[in-house]
């Protein structure tokens, strides 16, 4: 097997610039972790787009095989909780940032990072969801854990046509929430409406800093954008409203005041998928199978790309030209 070769995308740093190339690797080149996985699918997430293009400081060690998530089959393992032939999913744990990731036909990873493929999902479907969709589910869980129900009132999703946003819209709508959506352009409305959004709130005001408090509109919100957008979301929350914030597609800053918190009791909940404990991952994956029906999932995946096409898709993602999820078929 050590003579056999397979393909992977490898990122190298040359003159402080990121160079991405598809390389033919041998198994000896893979990291010395305890579990070898034959990868079936990976995906393109916002973080992958930043890593592959070199436009964000994502890569922590060079050279690196990017891809922050994948699904596939265990080939060999010394982890007693896993066995050869078992289908598994990986998201997070700094894979695709610090450790070699999913843009490869094979990868060696720590067995403890793997989650058994949830019953009812194929590896393709698991990656149609991917880190972005998984995070959308975590945001919905965070809102509900804070006491939000469909009866609480309207829920706003920002970046609604993106990977996290699409899944959040689909799940919330299916659960009976009245979902309002913020998107970057009217071209995306038909797509987001098909996922269940009832109205769109796009308007020029989102480009401006909000007043400390605006009119109250939302019982809850999922924010994937950050910066001025999150500041306006906070200013527009109802008394005791709850915001789940997971992203920075519009910037990592947060130009707000304490007013929404101290005068309206607004709660801002941070959502992280990378270091989430394993037991919470299994629960979230099992919930996705129930709350994200297959027909909605089909609608969320805009395109499937090969390893050679990841670079172009990454550029398009950062330019805001994509909608929904991008599946990467490594084979
Ligand atoms: P996508 O690129 O698929 O979606 C992001 C969306 O944000 C875009 O589709 C666009 O919405 C909107 N957007 C982009 N730029 C701007 C801008 N300048 N101003 C306003 N809106 C903008 O990315 P993902 O959905 O995969 O990820 C969204 C965010 O969540 C990213 O920042 C990502 O890093 C983060 N994330 C965090 C995770 C965590 O564990 N906390 C896990 C996964 C993702 P539209 O298309 O509607 O115009």
Q: What is the DSSP string of 99-127?
A: B--SSBSEEEE-GGG-EEPPTT--HHHHH
- String of b and e for 95-120 (b: at least 16 CB within 10 Å)? bbbebbbbbbbbbbbebebbbebbee
What integer pLDDT is reported at residue 300 of this predicted model?
A: 86
Q: Is the CB–ligand 1 distance for residue 77 below 6 Å?
A: no
Pick from 227, 231, 225, 201: nearest CA to 213: 231
| Measured torsion, CA atoms of residues 248, 252, 258, 262, in degrees rounded to the nearest 10 | 30
SS3 for 264-326 is: HCCEEEECCCCCCCHHHHHHHHHHHHHHCCHHHHHHHEEEEECHHHHHHHHHHHHCCCCCCEE
Query: Given ligand 1 and candidates 228, 320, 323, 326, which is best to mutate, with the most ligand atoms within 8 Å of its CB?
Result: 320
Q: In degrees rounded to 5, what are phi and psi of residue 158?
A: -100, 155
| 181 vs 288: CA distance, rounded Å | 21
Pick from 92, 90, 18, 16: nearest CA to 53: 18
Rounded to two decimals, what is the model's pTM?
A: 0.95
DSSP state of 50: H
Question: Which is the closest atom of ligand 1 to the Cα of 206?
Answer: 20
Which residues make up the CATH 3.40.50.720 domain(s) of the chain?
A: 132-270
For residue 13, with 0-12 CB atoms within 10 Å meaning exposed, 13-18 middle and 19 or more buried, which class applies? middle
Query: Given ligand 1 and candidates 157, 181, 247, 314, which is best to mutate, with the most ligand atoms within 8 Å of its CB?
Result: 247
From the CB of residue 123, how many other CB atoms can be counted at a distance below 10 Å?
18
Pick from 149, 122, 133: nearest CA to 288: 133
Question: Which is the closest atom of ligand 1 to the Cα of 271?
Answer: 41
What integer pLDDT is reported at residue 41 of this predicted model?
A: 98
Q: Is the CB–ligand 1 distance for residue 271 below 6 Å?
A: yes
Residue ranges for the chain with pLDDT beneath 50 = none
Q: Do residues 190 and 227 make contact, with C-beta atoms less than 8 angstroms apart?
A: no
Instruction: Please write the tens of the pLDDT for every residue from 226-259.
Output: 999 999 999 999 999 999 999 999 999 999 999 9
Instruction: Please write the tens of the pLDDT for every residue from 210-228.
Output: 999 999 999 999 999 999 9
Q: Do residues 284 and 134 make contact, with C-beta atoms less than 8 angstroms apart?
A: yes
- At how many degrees (to 10) do helices 163-174 and 278-291 cross? 60
CATH number of 132-270: 3.40.50.720
**Residue 321 Cα to ligand 1 middle (Å):** 12
Q: Is the CB–ligand 1 distance for residue 130 below 6 Å?
A: no
Q: Do residues 142 and 135 make contact, with C-beta atoms less than 8 angstroms apart?
A: no
Instruction: Please write the tens of the pLDDT for every residue from 278-295.
Output: 999 999 999 999 999 788
Report the share of the chain in percent with pLDDT over 90.
92
What integer pLDDT is reported at residue 35 of this predicted model?
A: 98
Q: Is the CB–ligand 1 distance for residue 168 below 6 Å?
A: no
In this structure, the residue with its CA closest to atom 11 of ligand 1 is: 159
- Domain 5-117+293-329 annotated CATH 1.10.10.10: no
What integer pLDDT is reported at residue 293 of this predicted model?
A: 78
DSSP state of 146: T
| 300 vs 323: CA distance, rounded Å | 8
What are the DSSP calls for 170-196, one per residue? HHHHHTT--EEEE-S-GGGHHHHHHTT
Question: Which is the closest atom of ligand 1 to the Cα of 181?
Answer: 47
Strand-strand pairing, 106-109 and 35-44: antiparallel
Report the DSSP beta bridge partners of residue 71.
41, 89
Which residues make up the CATH 3.90.180.10 domain(s) of the chain?
A: 5-117+293-329
Cα 324 to Cα 46, 128, 258, 291, 306, distances in angstroms:
11, 9, 34, 17, 17
């Amino acid at each position: 097997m050590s003579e056999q070769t397979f393909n992977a995308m490898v990122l190298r740093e040359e003159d402080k610039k990121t160079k991405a190339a598809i390389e033919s690797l041998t198994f000896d080149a893979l990291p010395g972790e305890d579990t070898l996985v034959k990868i079936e699918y990976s995906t393109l997430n916002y973080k992958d787009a930043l890593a592959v293009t070199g436009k964000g400081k994502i890569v922590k060690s060079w050279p690196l095989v990017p891809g922050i998530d994948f699904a596939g089959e265990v080939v060999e393992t010394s982890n007693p909780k896993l066995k050869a032939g078992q289908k598994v999913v990986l998201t997070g744990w700094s894979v695709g940032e610090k450790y070699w990731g999913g843009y490869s036909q094979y990868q060696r990873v720590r067995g403890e990072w793997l989650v058994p493929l949830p019953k009812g999902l194929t590896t393709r479907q698991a990656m149609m969801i991917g880190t972005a969709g998984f995070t959308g589910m975590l945001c919905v869980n965070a809102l509900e854990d804070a006491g939000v129900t469909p009866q609480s009132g309207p829920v706003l999703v920002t970046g609604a046509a993106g990977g996290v946003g699409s899944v959040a819209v689909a799940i919330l709508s299916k659960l009976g929430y009245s979902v309002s959506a913020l998107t970057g352009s009217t071209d995306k409305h038909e797509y987001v409406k098909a996922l269940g959004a009832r109205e769109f709130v796009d308007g020029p005001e989102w480009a401006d800093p909000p007043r400390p408090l605006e009119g109250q509109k939302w019982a809850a919100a999922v924010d994937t954008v950050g910066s001025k957008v999150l500041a306006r979301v906070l200013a527009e929350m109802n008394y005791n409203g709850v915001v789940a914030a997971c992203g920075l597609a519009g910037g990592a800053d947060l130009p707000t005041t304490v007013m929404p918190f101290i005068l309206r009791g607004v709660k801002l909940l941070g959502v992280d998928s990378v270091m989430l404990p394993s037991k919470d991952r299994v629960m979230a994956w099992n919930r996705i199978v129930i709350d994200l029906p297959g027909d909605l999932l089909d609608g969320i995946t805009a395109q499937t790309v090969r390893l050679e096409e990841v670079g172009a898709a990454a550029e398009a993602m950062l330019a805001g030209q994509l909608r929904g999820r991008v599946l990467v078929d490594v084979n």
